[in-house]
Amino acid sequence: MAITRVWLDESEDECISCGLCSEVAPEVFEVPDKMIVIEGVDFSQYEEEIKEAVESCPTSVIKFETD
Ligand code: SF4
């Protein structure tokens, strides 16, 4: 069950640019304005950090998919 995709989903709520995700997982997330997922990241190397960021996000807009 490796993480294969991570994305910003604002269909129900919005990223408020708090920066928490990039503090928890700076290898995966950047918040220049709204959050972006850094291109080319091997998500399987940062599974714990990604899950922690998902749980920490105050507006629950970080989504991920596993294989
Ligand atoms: S933790 Fe959530 S709300 Fe905060 S910057 Fe990251 S995606 Fe946006």
What's the CATH code of the domain at 59? 3.30.70.20
Contact, 19 vs 29, CB < 8 A? no
Residue 61 has pLDDT above 90, yes or no: yes
What integer pLDDT is reported at residue 53 of this predicted model? 98
Which of 7, 59, 63 most suits a substitution to test ligand 1, by most atoms within 8 Å of the C-beta?
Answer: 59
C-beta 24 within 6 A of ligand 1? no
Rounded alpha-carbon distances, angstroms, from residue 53 to 12, 25, 44, 57: 18, 7, 15, 6
Q: How many domains does the chain have?
A: 1
pLDDT at 41 (0 to 100): 97
Q: Are 58 and 2 in contact (CB under 8 A)?
A: no
> What pLDDT was estimated at residue 49?
98
Using the predicted structure, report yes or no on whether residue 2 has a pLDDT greater than 90: yes
User: Which whole number is the average pLDDT over 3-32?
Assistant: 98
**C-alpha dihedral over 62, 28, 19, 7, to 10 degrees?**
-20
Q: What predicted TM-score, i.e. pTM, was given to this entire model?
A: 0.95
Domain residues for the domain of 61 are 3-66
The pLDDT of residue 1 is: 85
